[in-house]
Amino acid sequence: MLDLKAIRSEPEKFLRLLEAKGAAENLNRLLDLDYQRRQLVTKTDELKSLRNRVSDEIARLKRAGAAAEDKIKEMKSVSLQIKEQDEQIRSLEEQIHQILITLPNIPHASVKIGRSAADNEVVKIWGEVPTYDFPLKDHLDLAENLGIIDFKRAAKISGTGFPLYVGDGAVLERALVNFMLDFHRKKHGYREVFPPFLVNRDSAFSTGQLPKLEEDMYLTSEDDLFLIPTAEVPVTNIHRDEIIPENKLPIKYVAYSGCFRREAGSYGKETRGLSRVHQFNKVELVWFTIPETSYDVHEKLLQDAEEILQALNLHYRVVSLCSGDLSFAAAKCYDIEVWAPGTGKYFEVSSVSNFEDFQARRANIRYRRSGDNRVGYVHTLNGSGVATPRLMIALLETYQTDEGTIVVPEALQPYTGFSLIKTTV
RNA sequence: GGAGAGAUGGCCGAGCGGCUGAAGGCAGCUGCCUGCUAAGCAGUUGUAUCGUUAAAAGCGGUACCCCGGGUUCGAAUCCCGGUCUCUCCGCCA
């Protein structure tokens, strides 16, 4: 959520930046409603002040045994007026709120203004496109031949987009998750949490999924709980409605979770294989920081996520998203895209975002400054570290051999207990 | 799923329809005292919002005792609805 007071004081700036994200239409109406509200609040507070004073007088008169009928009568009509104006204020606040919750975050000054993914910039390339002296298979062929992912039976069980990992495939998937959790916990000092996979509306609102992206989530109708699309949602909400002492910051969590996405509207494209699925596994990194350091942390977070791919020796590039491609809540975002040689494409395996105080405002996560004891909103950041399905694609396709087997990267071998995946059926 | 109990400030805890933003205690901060520490004494300490201000501080107003309604000139206190927590029973990995 944006700061209404900030919008009020610099409306032109917000107009310009919201346009850069393609979402400026309601701004003037918002400012008008805000003005009306403030006028009415001032008027109504004066009436309340009057009522409080006279009510005290009435109490004094009654205690002294004097009559107060005329004052009571007068206050009766004042109270009625207060009630009417309070209702108007409530209505104005509701309208303001409705606009405010649909306004996206504004891009940071370092973010390029652009319309779509075509305007994104590659800011880093790590490693080189690997070369092979035999014809490459894509992950679908490899997985099917090796019998490590059973898409057919998965479709029978749940439908398309719900991978069923089998045998060494299941072990490999689990190994990836454990490897990444340990990596961030031990090497980067994150605190591990294991969050709930279903969340309530307040939690989904806080991180920005609601109200605009409700249809992207699975909803359990009986209990009105959402299946999480990312661990970002429960983990960010750990500190909802809290005031954190500054000396406790930064706080950094690493969490594994299953992730569930309806991917409504994306039928027909990329529906085969692992590239776009309804359920997947992801290790997520979440930071809470003071505002002054959040952009340094953003770079650090990116680096932490990159190191996973480096440890697995996978070629990747980093893309800085332009304003038009930023998600609803993000002020700045890097995508990490890993190379899949069999498919011949880069796949996004991580999104590393700084939300500044946008989520903190929605979630009411504040901190108390050590110096002057004042409270302010924290900055929240998160990044995938990383998501497995596309990592699996890159892994299978990068480490395939001309026999169709898969060499397990050294870093993973302690977790798999084997170094080669070959046909077992 | 059934039955019962509860929700007050950073924490514990009192609270009669007006004199309660809220007693008392703890913790924190500031002074005083003390060779140091402890103890003692005095003062102080929430959040949001509106106004004043270029802005902040400060000052003034308003609201907030789980949430939402109601009764009343006036509600932490009375009434109704909801949420959450705890205990017991049932079911259950």
Antiparallel, parallel or unpaired: β A121-126 and A345-354 = unpaired
Q: Is the pLDDT of residue A69 over 90?
A: no
Distances (CA, A) of A201 to A1, A97, A136: 16, 16, 46
Alpha-carbon gap, residue A131 to A134, rounded angstroms: 9
CATH of the domain at A208: 3.30.930.10
A353 and A390 inside one domain: yes
When pLDDT is cut at 50, 70 and 90, the band that residue A34 belongs to is very high
Give the number of domains in chain A: 2
pLDDT at A362 (0 to 100)? 92
Question: Does the pLDDT of residue A230 top 80, yes or no?
Answer: yes
At A265, the pLDDT band (50, 70, 90 cuts) reads: low
A85 alpha-carbon distance from chain centroid: 38
pLDDT tens-digit readout, A350-378: 999 999 999 999 998 988 887 777 888 99
- pLDDT exceeds 80 at position A189: yes
Q: Is residue A112 a part of any domain in this protein?
A: no
Q: What is the mean pLDDT of chain A?
A: 92
The counts of H helices and E strands in chain A are 13, 16
A94 touches strand B (CB under 7 A): no
Element (H, E) at A406: strand A406-407
The answer to whether strand B lies under 7 Å from the CB of residue A270 is: no
Q: At A22, which helix (H) or strand (E)?
A: none
Decide the pairing of beta strands A279-289 and A219-220: unpaired
Residue A29 pLDDT level (bands cut at 50, 70, 90): very high
- In angstroms, how far is CA A42 from the centroid of its own chain? 37
One-letter identity of residue A167:
G
ipTM, two decimals, is: 0.86
Domain range for A21 is 4-100
* Average pLDDT of the segment spanning A46-71: 88
**Are A239 and A335 contained in the same domain?**
yes
**Residue pointed to by tokens 């307040």:** A202
The verdict on A62 and A183 lying in the same domain is no
Q: Looking at A74, A100, A126, which one is the last position of a domain? A: A100
- Residue A177 approaches strand B within 7 Å at CB: no
pLDDT at position A62 is 85
Task: State the amino acid at position A201 in one-letter form.
Answer: R
**pLDDT of A155-188, one tens digit each?**
999 998 999 999 999 999 999 999 999 999 999 9
Rounded to whole angstroms, the distance from the CA of residue A221 to the C1' of nucleotide B92 is 22
Residue A332 has a pLDDT of 97
Which of the nucleotides in strand B have any atom less than 7 Å away from a protein CB atom? 18-19, 46-51, 57, 61-63, 69-70, 72-74
Any idea of the CA torsion for A181, A184, A185, A189, to the nearest 10 degrees?
-170
Question: What's residue A221's pLDDT?
Answer: 79
With respect to residue A111, please indicate whether it lies within any of the assigned structural domains. no
* A402 vs A56: CA distance, rounded Å: 90
For residue A183, being part of any structural domain is answered with yes
Q: Which has the minimum average pLDDT: A57-61, A92-96, A264-268? A: A264-268
- Asked if residue A272 keeps its beta carbon closer than 7 A to nucleic acid strand B, the reply is no
The b/e string for A6-16 (b: 16+ C-beta within 10 A; e otherwise) is ebeeeeeebee
Same domain? For A293 and A368 the reply is yes
Q: Does the structure show a pLDDT above 60 at A425?
A: no
Give mean pLDDT, residues A321-337. 96
DSSP character string of A336-356 = EEEEETTTTEEEEEEEEEE-T
